[in-house]
Structure 1
């Protein structure tokens, strides 16, 4: 059959042959891409996280994705250092994890990422001293209460977005990384956002999206810097997850629960420098990447304006 096709091509004009070659190449590249996606999402075995170390640091573990990761790491037999600002919530999460995983050792460190960060980082230094820390989950982050134009972002929110999302992630990484360098093994996972990577733009969430773009670039650079030292750095890029920060209460097929996302996230640790672990999210990413950017921008703006309107109505009811 191949010989027959080649014989037919010999009689065709050059431009037809070129189109055939380009089409064949495009088809094969797409097929390989699909096969790779299937392998990564469904067939590739997760790494043994204990090989990185017996302890993990998780920031923002009292709610959302961070809480999901804390539970999943404990199920893998890894001890935890939970870093958050609310001591009562840290204790509640710690007790819940121990109730399900009695052998897990847990330390809690109180850090107000929007407050005196230097003092908080000092406490993290003290907590990890002498421990075999192998995994760092940089999950802590803040977003807008609801969508708003950039000129509507107040000074306090602007400060918190940059301090927590950018400075917090940077300084915690800077504190934990030397421990991994000494033993030449470790895994760092920074939680990014589809608002900064998957979607061409995220209007009415501009500063949040920009801070997450920093997290993505920061992660990629560290991945290259430390790969040869045995340290795997990764930025995970989720789309919507059912969290308080996203103001989504119920999970669905395309919007996983925090535990559902964390299960997928754990399986991807130690592999690509950037990934979207929850496979329906990566499927949506593929669709979005095929659409014209101006079309996606227009849809996103309309969608966010709807969120802004609902948020303003809710605010007005509070003041009545």
Structure 2
């Protein structure tokens, strides 16, 4: 009886030790992932984009915010730019500023409103514009924005069509990179009530990017969601 009682009291100790070990393992894994992210974000040397991927970059939603900032960084890296946006005036202003900050930079603009009718034809025209260019980087940043919950999946159609227009050229050249802008609505928040379609489209971008990466990495093309 005494031995049996001792064993019964020993089991909780083993269980606690196992749980503690599992907790340490998970904590170590999380710390390692954080360290890798910090290294990639702040310490890892930048890749030579022009030599690694190609001479030109296509940036949608390039007149404001993230897209505009990315355009300037790509120009600083020596890439020519195809800036895509819905406002001719803003495109002209950004183009002029890029050329002022980076003398000799090549900049082309293309007016495209992703919320307008005839999206397929407009993106097809964009594809024709870049067909003869050595496009090494595509940044899918543009979205259709409204002051209320997104009524339809325009984000899905826009990113899919633009990628479909630019990706074949990368495949032919055997190199390229596609960066798709995601959202915390799909990556961090467990749900986003009243913005259901918006969150769902951003989840689509996550899986779209993951699956394309697997499909095209053997062809020399990097694809990621930011």
Q: Secondary structure at the match of 1:158?
A: coil
2:224 is equivalent to residue 214 of structure 1: no
Q: Which of residues 169, 180, 188 is equivalent to 1:179?
A: 169
Q: Number of aligned pairs?
A: 213
1:168 Cα deviation after fit: 0.9
1:226 Cα deviation after fit: 0.4
Q: Measure, in 1, the Cα distance between the counterparts of 2:199 and 2:27.
A: 34
Kept after mapping to 2: 8 A contact 1:143/1:208: no
- Relative to structure 1, the CA distance from residue 127 to residue 205 in structure 2 (aligned partners, 3 Å threshold; closer, same or farther) is same
1:31 Cα deviation after fit: 3.8
1:218 Cα deviation after fit: 0.8
Q: 1:86: which partner in 2?
A: 87
Provide Cα deviations, 1:214-273, integer angstroms capped at 9, x if missing partner. Answer: 11111111011101111001110xxxxxxxxxxxxxxxxxxxxxxxxxxxxxxxxxxxxx
CA RMSD in angstroms comes to 2.0
1:16 Cα deviation after fit: 5.4
Structure 2 counterparts to residues 110-149 of structure 1, below 5 A: 110-115=111-116, 116-146=118-148
TM-score by length of 2: 0.86
Provide Cα deviations, 1:152-211, integer angstroms capped at 9, x if missing partner. Answer: x5xxx624xx22x11111001000000000011000001111112211111222221111
Provide Cα deviations, 1:289-318, integer angstroms capped at 9, x if missing partner. Answer: xxxxxxxxxxxxxxxxxxxxxxxxxxxxxx
Q: Secondary structure at the match of 1:218?
A: helix
Q: Measure, in 1, the Cα distance between the counterparts of 2:99 and 2:146.
A: 33
The runs of 5 or more residues in structure 1 that have no matched partner are 1-11, 147-152, 237-320
The runs of 5 or more residues in structure 2 that have no matched partner are 1-11
Kept after mapping to 1: 8 A contact 2:57/2:135: yes
Kept after mapping to 2: 8 A contact 1:121/1:171: yes
- Relative to structure 1, the CA distance from residue 77 to residue 18 in structure 2 (aligned partners, 3 Å threshold; closer, same or farther) is same
2:10 is equivalent to residue 37 of structure 1: no
